[in-house]
Amino acid sequence: MRTTTYIQAINEALKDEMRRDDSVFMIGEDIGRYGGLFRVTRNLFDEFGPERLLDTPISEQAFMGMAIGAAMAGMRPVVELMYMDFFLVCADQIFNQAAKYHYMSGGLINIPLVIRGQQGGGKRYGSQHSQSVESAFAHFPGIKVVAPATPYDAKGLLIASIRDNNPVAFLEHKMLYFTKGELPEANVDYTVPIGKADVKRTGKDLTVATFSYSLLQTLEAAEELQQEYGLDIEVVDLRSIVPLDMETLLDSVQKTGRLLAVHESYANNGIGAEIVARVYEEAPELLKAPARRLGAPPVSMPVSAPLEQEVLPWKSDIKAAVLRMLN
């Protein structure tokens, strides 16, 4: 194993899959010679050239439609949205076309398409560039949704997403790019299965279900809660939003009897609400106390640093929610 950054893990996954399979190509804004807004695709243009790293005009609807057509014809496109917020510009292409073709064709047409890009707050980019969009993608059948939090999971899930025959929304987080973690050596081929959660921290007092950058905030909160109050918190990293691994989550809740679902996106109609609802529907007898959710309040993301920190449900809010539940 070696230590590397989240951004390098994604870059390696793209490079490895483009070397392995000639049908894999990338399309998006400034992904070629420039290397992408966050440099995720840096150095790829030198090896693969303009035919496999297609720089596009600023027209998400157009290049998303091109990618869907290429996928229908047997290619495996990876579309980079500069900000995941911009999915709304091409929402018709994603949700009315890519998500439905396999069903509407009776299984004759596959859409092996990956839509990747960064989301979330923390960089003071304001309301139109800081949203977390997993709930919107998860609402529509036909699209898988993944949101890895570690370099190991990011590389393994991206490779699995590219090889999948379904559309996959691969959600990165701008605050994760330069975080570090362990990764197998470059010549090791591995994948992380889509739809499988991972227990990142074991405990007995309460289960926190989370994903993406909220995982790192939750792990820090859990360590501090143990040091300050002696609490033993179990942390389940969902990794995949669709499909959702309820088996792993329910196994954890059976052990702890308490559940807090944490995410950065809005609490209203969010993934946390879905998790809590499913637990009450499938196994309410496991709970010793009411399950709770923690997400952002229903306000647009501010540009001001203090106000942004007030809105984001990060470590201090997670600690406060746990303490209320275990009071």
Q: CA–CA separation, 61 vs 14, rounded Å?
A: 23
Q: What are phi and psi of 236, to 5 degrees?
A: -105, 120
10-residue mean pLDDT profile of the chain (327 residues): values are: 96 97 97 93 95 95 97 97 96 97 96 97 94 97 98 98 98 97 93 98 98 98 98 98 98 98 96 98 97 96 94 97 96
Catalytic residue among 12, 17, 29, 129: 129
Instruction: Show the tokens assigned to 13.
Output: 């996954």
Q: Is 80 among the residues known to form the active site?
A: no
E strands, 24-68, where? 24-28, 53-55
pTM: 0.96
Cα→Cα distances 65→28, 46, 118, 164, 216, Å: 12, 26, 20, 19, 35
Collapsing DSSP to helix, strand or coil, 262 comes out as strand
What is the torsional sign of CA 179, 185, 191, 195? negative
Q: Is 60 among the residues known to form the active site?
A: yes
The pLDDT value recorded for residue 5 is: 97
DSSP for 223-242 reads HHHHHHH---EEEEE--EEE
Count how many residues are written for the chain: 327
2-183 and 198-325: identical CATH topology: yes
Catalytic residue among 12, 29, 60, 134: 60
Strands 206-210 and 259-266, sheet pairing: parallel
The pLDDT value recorded for residue 69 is: 97
DSSP tag of 122: S
The pLDDT value recorded for residue 187 is: 87
DSSP for 293-322 reads EEEE-SSPPPSSHHHHHHHS--HHHHHHHH
Collapsing DSSP to helix, strand or coil, 284 comes out as helix
Q: How many C-beta atoms lie closer than 10 Å to residue 166's C-beta? A: 17
The pLDDT value recorded for residue 327 is: 85
CATH number for the segment(s) 198-325: 3.40.50.920
Domain ranges in the chain are: 2-183, 198-325
- The identity of residue 257, as a single letter, is G
- Given the candidates 3.40.50.970, 1.20.1440.230, 1.10.287.70, 3.40.50.300, the CATH classification of the domain at 2-183 is 3.40.50.970
